[in-house]
Amino acid sequence: MSKSRLFKWRHYLPTIILRCVRWYCRYALSYREVEELTHERGLRVDHSTVFRWVQTYAPQLDKRCRRYLRPPTDSWRVDEVYVKVKGEGRWLYRAVDKYGETLDFLLTAKRDAQAAKRFFHKTLNARNSTTPRVINADKHKAYPPAVAALQEDKILPQSVELRQNKYLNNVIEQDHRFLQRLIKPGLGFKSFNTARRTIKGYEVMHMLRKGQVVGVAKGEVQAQLNFMAQVLGVTA
């Protein structure tokens, strides 16, 4: 495998780095458990090295995979997940379409109308997103003023309907479980930026797992690794 600029000065082959990043971001493992898996395969990779790899390559994977995602439907499901960062509660806003395909996500310090507005704005500008026909959300009071503000700014059409009913959000509630299962082994994040970068890795692996990437079928592990190598510029 030839190295791209992203892997310059790394002591390990890109294939090894990408496999470690995938293990951590795909399965409920700690960094020390990934270190043990590399030791089983005759490699001496420290858990702190795996951490640095995740912090470097997870955001790159999230950024570069967007152009390959299938277009979603115009029915959004929106919700928030509680995330502990440096001992304090933070909020991960997430949106999926009616089939459970990820639209976008945003980690915020607060759970208010301003944060919800920022999230909607980010999701609307996402490369794989589309203007919604309807937004399904729970009874959180921040959503109506956020949607109203975006409609007033003519970012959202007036025809967009906000439906607040927790029973309509079962799709995204189920989707949260994958993220929560991955976050738990880490016992919380040490900084906001660490959380933001790591969650990008979780989310991109989740999109790959669900088969959202064109040409990478659900459950095709080798195809996922090949795609990761392709978008990061690693050629055979």
pLDDT digits (tens, 9 = 90+) for 114-131: 999 999 999 999 888 889
Q: Could you give the percent of the chain with pLDDT greater than 70?
A: 97
Q: 117 and 58 in one domain?
A: no
- Among 155, 178, 201, where does a domain finish? 178
In a domain, 35, yes or no: yes
Q: Could you give the percent of the chain with pLDDT greater than 90?
A: 72
pLDDT band at 235; cut points 50, 70, 90: low
Whether the predicted pLDDT of 163 surpasses 90: yes
Give me the half-sphere count of Cα atoms (radius 13 Å) on the Cβ side of residue 228. 28
Specify the number of domains making up the chain: 2
The secondary structure element, H or E, covering residue 164 is strand 161-164
Q: 166 and 82 in one domain?
A: yes
Query: What CATH number has the domain bearing residue 84?
Result: 3.30.420.10
Q: 135 and 50 in one domain?
A: no
Q: Using CA atoms, how far apart are residues 128 and 138, in angstroms rounded to an integer?
A: 24
In a domain, 185, yes or no: no
Residue 11: the pLDDT is: 81
Whether the predicted pLDDT of 187 surpasses 80: no
Q: 164 and 142 in one domain?
A: yes
Domain ranges, residue 142 = 75-178
The structure tokens 């009913």 sit at 165
* Residue 228 buriedness (CB in 10 A; 0-12 / 13-18 / 19+): buried
DSSP 66: G
Q: 90 and 158 in one domain?
A: yes
In a domain, 186, yes or no: no
Contact partners, residue 165, CB within 8 Å, separation at least 6: 136, 138
Average pLDDT score over the chain: 91
Q: 157 and 211 in one domain?
A: no
pLDDT digits (tens, 9 = 90+) for 49-95: 999 999 999 999 999 999 999 989 999 999 999 999 988 999 999 99
Q: How many CB atoms lie within 10 A of CB 60?
A: 19
Q: 84 and 174 in one domain?
A: yes
In a domain, 184, yes or no: no
